[in-house]
């Protein structure tokens, strides 16, 4: 899927107040989407300790070259 860039600048999201997913406080622009670096750290820790939601999309095994025996 080639995404042809039309030279459209990626406009930042409108100034919408997000809430910290950790504690629910209004997120600070400095630590978005968290309210503080601490909450960001907590979220990171969860990621590291929790299960990664990596899609099982392994590349197909390459067949060995040459079918000669
Ligand atoms: Zn927070």
17-68: per-residue pLDDT in tens? 789 999 999 999 999 899 999 999 999 999 898 755 555 666 777 777 876 6
The token pair that represents 39 in the structure block: 């909450």
Q: DSSP label at 26? A: B
Q: How far is the CA of 47 from the centre of ligand 1 (A)?
A: 16
> Which chain residues have CB less than 5 Å from ligand 1, an ion?
20, 22-23, 25, 35, 39
Cα(33)–Cα(22) distance, rounded to whole angstroms? 10
- pLDDT (0 to 100) of residue 65: 81
Q: Please say whether the beta carbons of 65 and 53 come within 8 A.
A: no
* Per-residue pLDDT at 61: 77
| Dist. CA 56 → ligand 1 center (Å) | 31
**pTM (whole model) above 0.75:** no
Q: Supply the pLDDT for residue 24.
A: 95
């Amino acid at each position: 899927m080639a995404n042809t860039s039309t030279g459209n600048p990626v406009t930042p999201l409108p100034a919408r107040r997000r809430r910290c997913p950790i504690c629910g406080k209004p997120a600070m622009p400095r630590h978005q989407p968290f309210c503080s670096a601490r909450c960001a750290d907590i979220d990171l820790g969860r990621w590291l300790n929790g299960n990664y939601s990596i899609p099982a999309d392994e590349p197909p095994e390459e067949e060995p070259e040459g079918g000669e025996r």
